């Protein structure tokens, strides 16, 4: 396998790995989105007895000298004392409080007079324990619209509340108030300031029984999980970009290599044609042997580039015939001992010619050993079995098939069955048995 093919294989495997990791992270990301959605939808409640410290409620009287006063013109036959109460909601969570409301339960008789920013949902229970309620903006109301119990004391509205009654403060959602959302500590420790004016005889109203309902909000990119997915997607995108770039570069180089390989192969074809042309009966013999050799190599499971090497080496297996006289190569009658000895030299001469060729693996071995026999009775060195390079054993079978499948000066081509019988008869003696088996399969499959 050449370096470009090897690189493409690495890129392909890396891409599969990145895609597999991406699929896993994508599934985790979907789960993360679902969990963030649940997190954002969940209503949370804290009371004065809650141990939660993410969000804190503090209701306390405002301490200024003008923040409490006595009111005698109430029309209720009694003097009342007013006091301003601050209601502060502080968000110590790392995420936004994007929705909230505060319920204050009343434990003593008092009057709700005024409040700022949001609206007040006032709940009263009449003597028959029937609940009535109305939501009012205490800064901007009309007496004619009030449906719950109230007193008008001069310019002031007094909403009477007794134990069991309660009011719910809904913050102003306009951008101006800053009550919704309340920023978290990740940016600035945010808080919402609201408050009420309460009237009572004593002037001290207990507002410590409350419930704050709120929802936190975070984006999918927040927190350690959000950071994990941000980094993961960045790394995945970068990996795919790098792999894609390397792939495009390798494809470009592969095109150049292929072009060079085609030029090289054309040169080999010219060389083998020169050798084959000296024998009238061997025209295009080398090219056919090269094709059969490649098919056998593929059948044996060799890599594509190894099959190409087998093809190129087989093209040149008879290059040594260039040194054998045409008189001998074209002789129609039986060769003399001396002439046969001369023919046999084409293996050694061919290997000497190819000894400096480095671009095709085993090309010298192919030329030198393709007439060796599996049982060790071949030439030029009498090697046997695994001593004979695989490429030479492959070419030996391909070479024999082409010889039997074409007319020769001293005989006609053999029939299909005759060729199969010859291979079976010489399996393990002349030819490598495993290669014969492979080639018999090829003959059957390809109807050779
Ligand atoms: Fe040969």
pLDDT tens, N- to C-terminus, the chain (448 residues): 566 777 888 888 999 999 999 999 999 999 999 999 999 999 999 999 988 778 999 999 998 888 888 888 777 778 899 999 999 999 988 888 989 999 999 999 999 999 988 999 999 998 788 999 999 999 999 999 999 999 988 888 999 999 999 999 999 888 677 788 888 775 555 888 899 999 999 999 999 999 999 999 989 998 889 999 999 999 999 999 999 999 898 888 888 877 777 777 777 777 777 777 766 556 689 999 999 999 999 999 999 889 999 999 999 999 998 888 888 887 877 889 999 999 999 999 999 999 988 878 899 999 999 999 999 999 999 999 999 999 999 999 999 999 999 987 777 899 999 999 999 999 999 999 999 999 999 999 987 7
CA of 281 to the centre of ligand 1 (A): 13
What are the angstrom distances between the C-alpha of 163 and each of 72, 126, 167, 206, 250?
23, 11, 12, 11, 82
Cα end-to-end span (Å), the chain: 29
Residue 432 CA to residue 384 CA, distance in Å, equals 9
Helix and strand numbers, DSSP H then E, in the chain: 10, 13
Residue-level pLDDT at 423: 96
CA of 426 to the centre of ligand 1 (A): 18
Residue 429 CA to residue 406 CA, distance in Å, equals 23
CA of 441 to the centre of ligand 1 (A): 24
CA of 377 to the centre of ligand 1 (A): 15
CA of 414 to the centre of ligand 1 (A): 19
Helix ranges restricted to H, 278-362: 285-299, 304-315, 326-329, 337-353
Q: Are 199 and 110 in contact (CB under 8 A)?
A: yes
CA of 58 to the centre of ligand 1 (A): 102
CATH architecture of the domain with range 42-218: Sandwich (2.60)
Helix ranges restricted to H, 330-414: 337-353, 363-369, 390-404
Residue 400 CA to residue 392 CA, distance in Å, equals 12
Residue-level pLDDT at 5: 73
Q: Are 180 and 101 in contact (CB under 8 A)?
A: no
278-446 placed in CATH 1.10.3210.10: yes
Question: What residues have their beta carbon closer than 5 A to ion ligand 1?
Answer: 318
Element at 18 (helix H, strand E)? helix 3-41
Question: Which tokens sit at 425?
Answer: 């008869």
CA of 318 to the centre of ligand 1 (A): 5
CA of 351 to the centre of ligand 1 (A): 11
CA of 404 to the centre of ligand 1 (A): 14
Could you give the maximum distance between any two Cα atoms of the chain, in Å? 150
Residue 399 CA to residue 393 CA, distance in Å, equals 10
CA of 406 to the centre of ligand 1 (A): 15
Residue 331 CA to residue 339 CA, distance in Å, equals 10
CA of 321 to the centre of ligand 1 (A): 8
Residue-level pLDDT at 281: 59
Residue 413 CA to residue 288 CA, distance in Å, equals 15
Question: 59: how many CB neighbours lie within 10 A of its CB?
Answer: 20
CA of 319 to the centre of ligand 1 (A): 8
Residue ranges of E strands in 72-130: 80-91, 96-105, 110-115, 119-125
CA of 334 to the centre of ligand 1 (A): 17
pTM of the model: 0.58
Q: If you ran DSSP here, which 8-state letter would residue 24 be given?
A: H
Identify which of 78, 83, 73, 77 has the alpha carbon closest to the alpha carbon of residue 155. 73
Q: Are 407 and 413 in contact (CB under 8 A)?
A: yes
β-strand 191-200 against 55-61: which pairing, if any? unpaired
Sequence-separated (6 or more) residues with CB below 8 Å from residue 193: 86, 87, 88
Residue 193 CA to residue 373 CA, distance in Å, equals 101
CA of 347 to the centre of ligand 1 (A): 7
Per-residue b or e along 324-360, where b marks 16 or more CB atoms closer than 10 Å to that residue's CB: beeebbebeeeeeeebeebbeebbbbbbebbeeeeeb
CA of 145 to the centre of ligand 1 (A): 114
């Amino acid at each position: 396998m050449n370096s470009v093919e090897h690189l493409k294989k690495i890129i392909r495997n890396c891409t599969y790995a990145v895609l597999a990791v991406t699929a896993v992270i994508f599934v985790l990301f979907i789960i993360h989105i679902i969990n963030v959605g649940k997190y954002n939808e969940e209503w949370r409640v804290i009371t004065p007895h809650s141990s939660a410290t993410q969000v804190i409620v503090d209701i306390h009287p405002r301490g200024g000298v003008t923040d409490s006063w006595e009111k005698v013109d109430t029309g209720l036959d009694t003097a009342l004392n007013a006091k301003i109460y601050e209601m502060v909601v502080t968000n110590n969570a790392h995420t936004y409080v994007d929705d909230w409301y505060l319920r204050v339960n009343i434990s003593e008789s008092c009057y709700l007079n005024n409040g700022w920013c949001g609206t007040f949902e006032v709940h009263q229970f009449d003597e028959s324990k029937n609940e009535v309620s109305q939501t009012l903006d205490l800064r901007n109301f009309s007496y004619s619209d009030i449906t719950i119990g109230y007193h008008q004391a001069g310019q002031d509205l007094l909403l009477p509340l007794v134990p069991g009654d309660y009011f719910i403060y809904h913050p102003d959602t306009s951008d101006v108030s800053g009550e919704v959302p309340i920023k978290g500590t990740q940016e600035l420790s945010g808080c919402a300031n609201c408050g009420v004016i309460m009237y009572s005889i004593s002037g001290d109203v207990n507002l410590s029984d409350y419930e704050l309902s709120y929802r936190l909000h975070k984006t999918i990119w927040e927190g350690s999980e959000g950071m994990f997915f941000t980094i993961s997607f960045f790394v995945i995108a970068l990996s795919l970009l790098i792999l894609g770039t390397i792939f495009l570069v390798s494809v470009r180089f592969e095109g150049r290599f292929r072009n060079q390989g085609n030029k090289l192969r054309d040169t080999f074809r010219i060389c083998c044609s020169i050798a084959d042309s000296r024998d009238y009966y061997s025209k295009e013999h080398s090219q056919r042997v090269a094709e059969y050799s490649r098919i056998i190599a593929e059948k044996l499971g060799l890599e594509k580039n190894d099959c190409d090497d087998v093809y190129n080496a087989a093209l040149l297996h008879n290059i040594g015939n260039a040194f054998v006289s045409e008189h001998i190569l074209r002789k129609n009658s039986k060769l003399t001992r001396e002439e046969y000895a001369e023919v046999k030299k084409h293996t050694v001469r061919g290997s000497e010619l190819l000894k400096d060729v480095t671009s095709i693996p085993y090309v010298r071995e192919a030329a030198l050993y393709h007439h060796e026999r599996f049982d060790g009775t071949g030439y030029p060195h009498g090697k046997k079995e695994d001593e004979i390079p695989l490429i030479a054993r492959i070419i030996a079978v391909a070479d024999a098939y082409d010889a039997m499948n074409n007319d020769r000066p001293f005989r006609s081509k053999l029939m299909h069955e005759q060729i199969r019988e010859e291979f079976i008869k010489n399996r393990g003696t002349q030819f490598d048995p495993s290669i014969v088996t492979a080639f018999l399969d090829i003959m059957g499959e390809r109807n050779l």
